[in-house]
């Protein structure tokens, strides 16, 4: 049974379909593993007590020939920003400690219709507001690759749980990189679909203009299956999220590409603040793609630096709108990490906000034009490696390390502004053995192309994907 930990969703699904593995077997394995290991990394806030019962129901359905698809019987963890009916949604804050959801989020409903089993809630940065993965309200989530390091945020628990093989796939949310940053730091794959591809109804908002939800999994194919199954059930009138393509076609890379793959790579002006070790892993990845037939197109994206402050202004302004009543009634209950950000929003004017929305529209149009020159854009997911948890603690937040913390979303946040599909997958490792992510971004609403390239890269980069954290 120990080999289950190494299996992807697609591999587990195949075994379930063939009846070589049952949902009850999965319950036994993962519940035991969570009980044994999660106290080391603190990825879960809550494990639901009806998991075993739901596994038995799935097993009975499959035995009767009522197989629902590749997520049937698969355990899935949910970031505690996402409503599950009759369960508490805290959003990582004690302010919402009694917030029992009256109904499930649309993404949860869709997953349950696909046969998936929602097993519990994962830790996060308070109100999903921070890239580090620090939340002084909770038992601090730790990076499975080094328990002294930050996991990245804000979907810290979801990324850590998948990385430690406590669950095969999990839900995250992404406003400035909150799926992709922890995916990079924890060495898993995280996918931010095109804006509005997956419903955010029933997900506590940070910024309604930028928020997206998506999966964190072991590989790109699992993320593709997740999005495909959710789309089938959240919108019966649009069961083809990839425009006629399906996850089963991901492996047909060469036959589905009309011409040689053109990979856009930003020139050095874009990478002025990147750590040397991250740059080395990225350059090695570019050479690997080139040696496997890709044409590398150097592009000047220095103009895209305007997108970062646009993301910050929109996020702060909309977050302040969401939190204005809580700030009056529960000011003292906010963590220092979040209140310091919300207070900075008071300096913004309505003109700042409206101006940022106008610039956002310009950025989207210009970025669409850039893609006339290449098929996919590749860059590092983050410019830095994960730092020590202690360096991001409350007493050190105002120190120089906070400046570094501000750099973490430098590459990810721009693609929330452009609303394009963007995926982070494992590229390699630093000298100290910490994961480094590679990010692929495609045209808006061309999600399958991003997933296709991510799947291809994972195959040619297979040597770097054999490493696992030693947590267990």
Q: Which of 13, 156, 178, 184 is catalytic?
A: 178
pLDDT score at 472: 57
Give the mean model confidence (pLDDT) for residues 419-445. Answer: 98
pLDDT score at 295: 96
Give the pLDDT band of residue 419 (cuts 50, 70, 90): very high
Give percent of the chain with pLDDT exceeding 70.
Answer: 94
Q: Which of 82, 136, 172, 122 is nearest to 339 (CA)?
A: 136
Lowest mean pLDDT among 190-204, 263-277, 352-366: 263-277
pLDDT one-digit tens code per residue, 327-358: 999 999 999 889 988 988 999 999 999 999 99
CA distance 186 to 180: 10
Residue 410 has pLDDT above 90, yes or no: yes
Q: Which of 309, 313, 105 is nearest to 207 (CA)?
A: 313
Neighbours of 394 (CB within 10 A): 12
Q: What is the pTM of this model?
A: 0.96
Give the mean model confidence (pLDDT) for residues 181-195. Answer: 99
pLDDT one-digit tens code per residue, 71-119: 999 999 999 999 999 999 999 999 999 999 999 999 999 999 999 999 9
CA distance 49 to 245: 37
Mean pLDDT value across the chain: 93
pLDDT one-digit tens code per residue, 248-259: 888 877 665 656
Planar angle of CA 282, 283, 285, nearest 5 degrees: 65
Q: Is 178 a catalytic residue?
A: yes
pLDDT score at 1: 46
Q: Residue 316 domain-assigned?
A: no
Residue 404 has pLDDT above 50, yes or no: no
**Long-range CB contacts for residues 463-470, cutoff 8 Å, separation at least 24:** 464/426, 464/427, 464/428, 464/429, 465/219, 465/426, 467/187, 467/429, 467/433, 468/6, 468/165, 469/144, 469/145, 469/163, 469/164, 469/187
Give the mean model confidence (pLDDT) for residues 170-177. Answer: 99
Q: Which of 13, 43, 79, 173 is catalytic?
A: 79
Q: Which of 154, 184, 356, 422 is catalytic?
A: 154
Helix (H) or strand (E) holding 76: strand 75-79
Q: Residue 189 domain-assigned?
A: yes
Q: Residue 320 domain-assigned?
A: no
Q: Residue 328 domain-assigned?
A: no
Q: Which domain holds residue 62?
A: 2-308+337-465
* Cα atoms in the 13 Å half-sphere on the side-chain side of 86: 4
Q: Would you say 389 and 149 are in contact if contact means Cβ atoms under 8 Å apart?
A: yes
Q: Is 79 a catalytic residue?
A: yes
Q: Residue 153 domain-assigned?
A: yes
pLDDT score at 257: 63
pLDDT score at 235: 77
pLDDT score at 397: 55
**Count of the separate structural domains present in the chain:** 1
Give the mean model confidence (pLDDT) for residues 265-271. Answer: 85
Q: Residue 292 domain-assigned?
A: yes
pLDDT score at 270: 77
**φ and ψ at residue 248, rounded to 5 degrees:** -65, -15
Residue 243 has pLDDT above 50, yes or no: yes
Residue 361 has pLDDT above 80, yes or no: yes
Q: Residue 319 domain-assigned?
A: no
pLDDT score at 400: 43
CATH code of residue 177: 3.90.1300.10
The per-residue DSSP string of 213-277 comes to EEEEESSHHHHHHHHHHHHHHH-TT---TTTT--GGGTT-HHHH-SS--EEEEE-GGGGTT--HH
pLDDT score at 416: 99
pLDDT score at 68: 97
Q: Residue 315 domain-assigned?
A: no
CA distance 359 to 11: 44
Q: For the chain, report the end-to-end CA distance as a whole number of angstroms.
A: 14
Give the pLDDT band of residue 403 (cuts 50, 70, 90): very low
Residue 321 has pLDDT above 70, yes or no: yes
Residue 317 has pLDDT above 60, yes or no: yes
């Amino acid at each position: 049974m120990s080999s289950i930990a190494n299996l992807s969703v697609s591999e587990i699904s195949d075994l379930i379909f063939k009846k070589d593995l049952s949902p009850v077997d999965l319950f036994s394995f993962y519940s035991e593993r969570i009980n044994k290991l999660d106290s080391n990394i603190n990825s879960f806030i809550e494990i639901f007590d009806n998991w075993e019962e739901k596994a038995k129901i799935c097993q009975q359905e499959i035995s009767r020939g009522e197989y629902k698809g590749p997520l049937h019987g698969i355990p899935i963890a949910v970031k505690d920003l996402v409503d599950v009916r009759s369960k508490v949604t805290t959003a990582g804050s004690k302010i919402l400690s009694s917030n029992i959801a009256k109904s499930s989020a649309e993404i949860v409903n869709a997953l349950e219709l696909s046969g998936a089993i929602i097993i519990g809630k994962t830790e996060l940065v308070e109100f999903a507001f921070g890239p580090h993965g620090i939340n002084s309200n909770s038992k601090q989530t730790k990076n499975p690759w080094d328990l002294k390091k930050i996991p990245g945020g804000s979907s810290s628990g979801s990324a850590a749980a998948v990385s430690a093989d406590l669950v095969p796939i999990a839900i995250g949310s992404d406003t400035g990189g909150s799926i992709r940053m922890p995916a990079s730091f924890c060495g898993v794959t995280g996918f931010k679909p095109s804006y509005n591809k997956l419903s955010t109804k029933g997900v506590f908002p940070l910024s309604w203009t930028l928020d997206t939800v998506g999966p964190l999994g072991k590989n790109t194919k699992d993320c593709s299956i997740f999005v495909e199954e959710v789309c089938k059930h959240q919108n019966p009138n649009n069961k083809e999220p990839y425009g006629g393509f399906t996850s089963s076609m991901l492996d047909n890379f060469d036959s589905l590409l009309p011409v040689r793959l053109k990979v856009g790579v930003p020139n050095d002006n874009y990478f002025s603040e990147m750590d040397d070790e991250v740059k080395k892993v990225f350059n090695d990845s570019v050479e690997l793609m080139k040696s496997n037939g890709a044409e590398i197109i150097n592009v000047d994206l220095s103009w895209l630096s305007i997108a970062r402050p646009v993301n910050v202004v929109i996020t702060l302004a909309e977050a302040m709108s969401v939190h204005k009543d809580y700030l009056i009634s529960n000011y003292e209950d906010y963590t220092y990490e979040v209140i310091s950000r919300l207070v900075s929003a008071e300096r913004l004017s309505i003109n700042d906000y409206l101006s940022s929305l106008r610039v956002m529209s310009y950025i989207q149009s210009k970025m669409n034009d850039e893609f006339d020159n290449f098929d996919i854009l590749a860059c590092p997911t983050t410019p830095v490696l994960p730092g020590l948890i202690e360096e991001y603690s409350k007493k050190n937040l105002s120190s120089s390390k906070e400046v570094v913390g501000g750099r973490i979303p430098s590459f990810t946040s721009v693609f929330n502004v452009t609303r394009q599909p963007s995926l982070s997958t494992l590229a390699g490792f630093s000298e100290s053995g910490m994961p480094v992510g590679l990010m692929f971004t495609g045209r808006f609403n061309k999600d399958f192309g991003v997933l296709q390239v991510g799947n291809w890269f994972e195959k040619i980069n297979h040597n770097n994907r054999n490493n696992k954290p030693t947590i267990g």
